[in-house]
Amino acid sequence: MQQMCPRCHEQYVIKSGISNAGRYAGLVGVLVANSTASYQCPNCGKIPMSEFPDEFQSDVKKKRTLSVIGAVAILVLVVAFFGWRVM
């Protein structure tokens, strides 16, 4: 998903906030980071979500929802797995 910067219309925006959380927290961290990631332009810096076109905003919201559902599903599976082993 590549989105042109809504300010300068010269650069593609970059998703930020993924790398560190993902490195330390594994898959769940990636999913959580994905749900809170922000976008920035190499020229203009951080761009608020409200400046992006509606189409892009709804696409991001959809992906965030899926990420949250995925993170919850993994947590439930992990808890179920360890709960089963304790018994």
Task: Yes or no: say if 40 and 32 are a contact pair by the CB < 8 Å rule.
Answer: no
Q: Which of 3, 5, 21, 67 binds Zn ion (CB under 5 A)?
A: 5
Q: Is 77 in the site for Zn ion (CB under 5 A)?
A: no
Cβ proximity to Zn ion: between 5 and 30 the closer is 5
Stretch that binds Zn ion, among 16-24, 40-48, 52-60, 64-72 (CB under 5 A): 40-48
- Return d(Cα 16, Cα 41) in angstroms, integer: 10
Task: Yes or no: say if 54 and 48 are a contact pair by the CB < 8 Å rule.
Answer: no
- Return d(Cα 80, Cα 73) in angstroms, integer: 10
Q: Give me the least distance between CB of 62 and Zn ion, in Å please.
A: 24
Where do contacts with Zn ion occur on this chain (CB under 5 A)?
5, 7-8, 41, 43-44
